Structure 1
Amino acid sequence: MTMRNIAFESFRCLSLALVSLFAITAHAMQPMAEEEMGNTLAQDGVSLRLELLINAKPDGSPMNGAAGEEIDCGAPSDPCRFALQFAGRDDKWLVFKGYSGILRINDIRLDAQEQMVGVGSNPAYFNIAKFQGVGGGCLLPGGCTVANLNSLPALRLSYPDTTPGFATGANPAAQVSSGFTSLEIGIILSGVSVEFGNESVGPLANANAPFLGFNVGDVASATAPSKIAIGGNALIFGF
């Protein structure tokens, strides 16, 4: 099997796996015949929006028991917690309380590129020795040359370019950012404390005051996730 076929098959398998993983229901997936998959062209790709919510609403704020929510992070029992017990420390717990988080990756694109092109255009970052074995022999079937590398197919991971901006002003309420939509991260941890008791008591205890807490977010509000703008392409290939 040629390198081109290997890259194409890898892209096809990855695309099918991602579609299967993020399908809403099994009924939404339709089987493809072998000839249909074989007719898939290199310009066909997928655009993904990945989202992970932990005890959080879509806007990044902690769940508060509203309609349709199973937990309330602000309840006296504080169900939004987890506890660690280390070996040799029976009935002693490190309890993380009031935690919630959001991770959202917007519009990440996977595609195939028939030829890499542009290899070696930046000498400061290009090193042909990366494709050589311990003894100095070339590991590429077509030779360790710029021309051969340029001819290799690759999996392209890309973000569409954005135009981020920030409105300044004396009034903090008017200082609003825009265009930072590629990646959103928000983490809230009310506190970490040491609690004591068996596994049915220690993880749920509130006998000791917390000594650590943190919040990763945006100045827009106390619970808004931080936002990052990303643009560009990354080519992934194997040999």
Structure 2
Amino acid sequence: MKKIMIMDVLKLLSKALVLDLIMSGTAYSLDLEPMNDNELEAVSGGDAIQLTLRLRNNVGPDNSPLYQADGVTLLCDPATYNLCRLGLQFEGQDNTWLMLKEFYGSLLVEDMRLEGATLDSGGTIYRDLSRFQGSDGGCLIDSCNPDGLAAIQVTYPFGKNPGEYSDLKTFLNIGRLAVEYDDGSTPGYLQNQNAGSAFAYRISDSETPNGYMQMHFQGRAMIYGF
């Protein structure tokens, strides 16, 4: 189960990173330049990738509010028609949209390290080789034993002092959840006919306004079977 969840997270992160690059709207191209001796001496390397991902949606730095063109009205003010929204449409419901209104937040993944590794021998007390059997009882891998297989090791090597929660930070606000319908040439995701709400949802740290929920990860995760 952990393996599937981590793979899904990595796929989402990679998609989000591509989306962030597309949404940035600016591309930079620099000429390649040779490094001098001092620069070369300062280079260190290894079989690893370290990833920091920072995404913001309808908020400023540190989740500070954004404003509309008048400089006074909040961008996501629920008292006004605003475009801080996410529309979801489901199969068989072509004219109906589930709208997340006053939708804003951010996601920060700090210093997640991915590196090549091999699986240890022996495992832990949770080792269960039957997980590597098919429905017919046959082994899906050699001897139903993953020992020594190539893997990707995921760790968060920094920010491990007591009380330090910097590995993952997130903030999310959904002010209203409502159903909207297409009306002629105007799609439902641009409608605001239903001002009510089924529920609201918020992930935050209450110590500060729009504060990040913060997480600290210990140990390591191994991804294998690719």
Paired letter, 1:120: G
Q: 1:29 to 1:159 in 2, by over 3 A?
A: farther
Q: Which has the larger radius of gyration?
A: 1
What are the superposed Cα offsets for residues 41-93 of structure 1, whole Å, 9 maximum, x if unpaired? x9421110112222122312443248xxxx92238331212445675685x65
| Alpha-carbon separation, structure 2, partners of 1:237 and 1:89 | 39
| Structure 1 residue 103, shift from structure 2 partner | 1.5
Q: 1:52 to 1:101 in 2, by over 3 A?
A: same
Which segment is superposed worse, 53-62 or 213-222? 53-62
| Alpha-carbon separation, structure 1, partners of 2:140 and 2:86 | 48
Sequence identity of aligned pairs in percent?
27
| Alpha-carbon separation, structure 2, partners of 1:183 and 1:45 | 19
Aligned partner of 2:6 in structure 1 is none
Question: Where do 1:20-31 residues align within 5 Å?
Answer: 25=27, 27=29
SS at match of 2:115: strand
| Structure 1 residue 209, shift from structure 2 partner | 3.3
Paired letter, 2:192: A
Q: 1:136 to 1:217 in 2, by over 3 A?
A: same
Q: 1:61 to 1:229 in 2, by over 3 A?
A: same
Aligned partner of 1:213 in structure 2 is 200
Question: Where do 1:14-25 residues align within 5 Å?
Answer: 25=27
Alignment partner of 1:159 is 2:152: no
Aligned partner of 1:169 in structure 2 is none
| Alpha-carbon separation, structure 2, partners of 1:195 and 1:131 | 46
What are the superposed Cα offsets for residues 133-158 of structure 1, whole Å, 9 maximum, x if unpaired? 455444445x455xx71x33322111
| Alpha-carbon separation, structure 2, partners of 1:48 and 1:183 | 12
Question: For 2:210, which of 223, 227, 231 is the aligned residue?
Answer: 223
| Alpha-carbon separation, structure 2, partners of 1:238 and 1:94 | 37
Aligned partner of 2:80 in structure 1 is 76
Asked whether the 8 Å contact 1:95–1:192 carries over to 2, the reply is: yes
Q: When the two structures are superposed, what TM-score results if normalisation uses the length of structure 2? A: 0.64
Aligned partner of 2:104 in structure 1 is 100
| Alpha-carbon separation, structure 2, partners of 1:190 and 1:135 | 49
Q: 1:29 to 1:186 in 2, by over 3 A?
A: farther
| Alpha-carbon separation, structure 2, partners of 1:132 and 1:192 | 43
Unaligned runs of 5+ in 2: 1-10, 33-44
Unaligned runs of 5+ in 1: 1-13, 31-41, 166-178
| Structure 1 residue 106, shift from structure 2 partner | 0.8
Paired letter, 2:177: V
Aligned partner of 2:51 in structure 1 is 48
Paired letter, 1:58: P
| Alpha-carbon separation, structure 2, partners of 1:183 and 1:201 | 36
Alignment partner of 1:111 is 2:115: yes
What are the superposed Cα offsets for residues 203-231 of structure 1, whole Å, 9 maximum, x if unpaired? 34266333421211001223112111112
Q: 1:129 to 1:196 in 2, by over 3 A?
A: closer
| Alpha-carbon separation, structure 1, partners of 2:89 and 2:138 | 50
| Alpha-carbon separation, structure 2, partners of 1:103 and 1:73 | 18
Q: 1:190 to 1:125 in 2, by over 3 A?
A: same
Question: For 1:63, which of 54, 66, 85 is the aligned residue?
Answer: 66
What are the superposed Cα offsets for residues 7-46 of structure 1, whole Å, 9 maximum, x if unpaired? xxxxxxx9xx99x95888463697xxxxxxxxxxx94211
Asked whether the 8 Å contact 2:86–2:99 carries over to 1, the reply is: yes
| Alpha-carbon separation, structure 2, partners of 1:201 and 1:135 | 50
Paired letter, 1:152: L
